[in-house]
A = this chain, B = another copy of it.
Amino acid sequence: MSLPFVVTFGEVMLRLSTPGFARFPQSGHFNATYGGGEANVAVSLAYFGLPAAHVTRFPDNDLGKAATQLLRQHGVDTRHIRYGGDRLGLYFLETGAASRAGRIIYDRTHSAFAQLQPEAFDWEEILEGARWFHWTGITPAISEGAARACREAIRVANRRGIPVSADVNYRRNLWQYGKTAAEAMPELVEGCDLIVASTNDAAEIFGIRPEPGADDAYQSVCQRLMQRFPRLKRVTTTHRGVVSSSHNTLAAVLWNGRDLVRTVEYPIVPIVDRIGGGDAFLAGLLYGLLTDQHDQQALDFAVAASVLKHAIEGDANLATVAEVESLVKGEVGRLVR
Contacts and interface: CB of A to CB of B under 8 A. Distances in A.
Interface string A246-264: 1110000000000000000
A126 interface: no
B30 A334 contact: no
Interface residues of A, number: 86
A33 B25 CA distance: 10
Contact of A99 (B25, B70, B307, B337): B307
A269 B103 contact: no
A327 interface: yes
Contacts of A239: none
Nearest to A76: B72
A230 interface: no
Interface stretch (A89-97, A178-186, A212-220): A89-97
Contacts of A327: 99
A32 B22 CA distance: 13
A84 interface: no
A78 to B, nearest CB: 10
A242 B311 contact: no
A162 B31 CA distance: 44
Q: How many chain copies? A: 6
Interface in A287-332: 304, 307-308, 310-314, 318-319, 323, 326-327, 331-332
Contacts of A16: 16, 30, 32
A66 interface: yes
Nearest to A275: B335
Nearest to A24: B62
Contacts of A269: 98, 244, 246-247
A268 B23 contact: no
Given A25-B73, A87-B107, A244-B332, 8 more contacts: A63-B92, A99-B266, A101-B335, A101-B336, A102-B334, A242-B334, A244-B267, A245-B332
Closest 10 CB pairs of A and B: A73-B73, A242-B333, A100-B311, A24-B62, A98-B311, A25-B66, A103-B336, A102-B335, A69-B73, A21-B272
21 contacts: A1-B1, A1-B79, A16-B32, A23-B313, A24-B63, A30-B30, A72-B73, A98-B269, A98-B270, A98-B271, A99-B311, A100-B312, A100-B319, A101-B326, A101-B332, A101-B336, A102-B336, A110-B110, A242-B333, A244-B333, A248-B333
